[in-house]
Amino acid sequence: MTGNARFNGLDWLRGVAAIAVMIFHYQIADSSHWTPRGYLAVDFFFALSGLVMGAAYEKRLSAGLDLPDFMLKVRLPRLYPLLLLSTCAGCAAAYLAHRLPTSPGFSFLSQIFLIPAVSGGRTLYPYDIATWSILFELFANICHVLLLRRMGTAGLTGVMAASAVVLALCSHHFGTLDLGARTTTAIGAIARVGYSYTAGVLIWRFHKEHRLPRIPGGLAIATAGLLACLTCPLTHRSAIDLSMDMGAIIFGFPALIIAGLEAINSTRANRIFSWMGEMSYPLYLLHDPVHVWFSAQLGATPSVQIALASAITAICLSWLSLVFYDIPIRTAFQASIRRRQNLHREKSSSITIKF
């Protein structure tokens, strides 16, 4: 596989998962769910993040990239601009919908700085519920730099095993694996990201060492499998539903990611897949504020009209924010870093010559 096309199939799957989350939230009060297990897409995102972070940065981390530089120059510039935009959009939507939380100004400032609510059973981030998973992904990134990158297969497997045990206990206690968005279920989020993110890192290590099988038609299989996991109807029998969800997280999603590593040789397909991957993050963050506003304007009861209007608007807004806001900011930031690095090299060279 070429370096540029290596993970285009996973970009496609990321986009599919983001759409599934949007549909799940838009029909959350509707008995006729299209994606009744859409909450599991977050576990899929965590696993993808572990793989991509391993592929992109483990070599640089081993070469000396430290935690402050990794967070301030890599992760926050990638994640924060859209987090800021979604928080502002969520605040505006809540104001127009007359759904502001208690102490709206304090909640806004807290969310701007990624400080979660810590009590009361509330959502961690009232202006955009999806922000909770970004907080725990950043936590996983920090653990990756400090711990995971130094671990071998046995260590990573141990982390996965411990996380799986905690996840099983949480599922039994809470009766669901839709955990992490509220203060009362935050412990479940640690177990979710602990297992799936670490699984992604381990998949990357095996892939790098050519220890994974090549699966013909893998991307088609992965797409069908992902849709099956997210759209499988709930049985409303706790033991069965929890077992199915645990099976998807523990075995299903890692297997689907391995299948999705298949190289795609079509230039047109890779462009579509890349676009889906780029759109997934803004869509994930912006779909909820859009829905809050449309629900206030068109009626609080879920309907096809509200869901369709929200979905079209969210997709268009995501594209606009990506092209005219997020990418320009990231490009300008990276250019600034390169200028500073070049200036530093010139100064070092000048000092060496003078010496």
Lowest-pLDDT range, 91-95, 167-171, 195-199, 337-341?
A: 337-341
Cα–Cα distance measured from residue 352 to residue 32, given in angstroms and rounded to the nearest whole number: 71
Summarised one tens digit per residue, pLDDT across range 191-216 is 999 999 999 999 999 999 999 999 99
| Sign of the torsion angle spanned by Cα atoms 289, 295, 300, 305 | negative
Residue 32 has pLDDT above 80, yes or no: no
Q: Is residue 2 part of a domain?
A: no
Question: What's the average model confidence in pLDDT over 48-63?
Answer: 96
Summarised one tens digit per residue, pLDDT across range 261-271 is 988 889 999 99
Residue-range definition of the domain harbouring residue 313: 8-354
Question: What's the average model confidence in pLDDT over 334-354?
Answer: 73
Residue 127 has pLDDT above 90, yes or no: yes
Report field, pTM of the whole predicted structure over 0.85:
yes
Which pairs with CB-CB distance under 8 Å and at least 24 residues apart come from 317-325? 317/282, 317/286, 317/290, 318/279, 318/282, 318/283, 318/286, 318/287, 319/279, 319/282, 321/82, 321/85, 321/282, 321/286, 322/278, 322/279, 322/282, 325/81, 325/82, 325/85
Q: Is residue 234 part of a domain?
A: yes
Q: Is residue 1 part of a domain?
A: no
Question: What's the average model confidence in pLDDT over 279-302?
Answer: 89
Residue percentage of the chain with pLDDT more than 70: 93
**What single string gives the DSSP state of each residue in 297-346?**
HH-SS--HHHHHHHHHHHHHHHHHHIIIIIHHHHHHHHHHHHHHHHHHHH
Would you place residue 231 in the very low, low, confident or very high pLDDT band (cuts 50, 70, 90)?
very high
Question: What's the average model confidence in pLDDT over 342-347?
Answer: 74
Q: How many domains does the chain have?
A: 1
Residue 353 has pLDDT above 80, yes or no: no
pLDDT at site 88: 97
Q: Is residue 167 part of a domain?
A: yes
pLDDT at site 228: 98
pLDDT at site 341: 77
Cα–Cα distance measured from residue 188 to residue 46, given in angstroms and rounded to the nearest whole number: 14
Summarised one tens digit per residue, pLDDT across range 57-98 is 999 999 999 999 999 999 999 999 999 999 999 999 999 988
Q: Is residue 3 part of a domain?
A: no
Cα–Cα distance measured from residue 93 to residue 17, given in angstroms and rounded to the nearest whole number: 24
Residue 352 has pLDDT above 60, yes or no: no
Question: What's the average model confidence in pLDDT over 36-50?
Answer: 97
Q: Is residue 305 part of a domain?
A: yes
Element (H, E) at 267: helix 267-298
Dihedral class, residue 172 (left if φ above 0, else alpha if ψ from -120 to 50, else beta):
alpha
CA distances, 144 to each of 67, 152, 199, 211 (Å): 10, 12, 12, 22
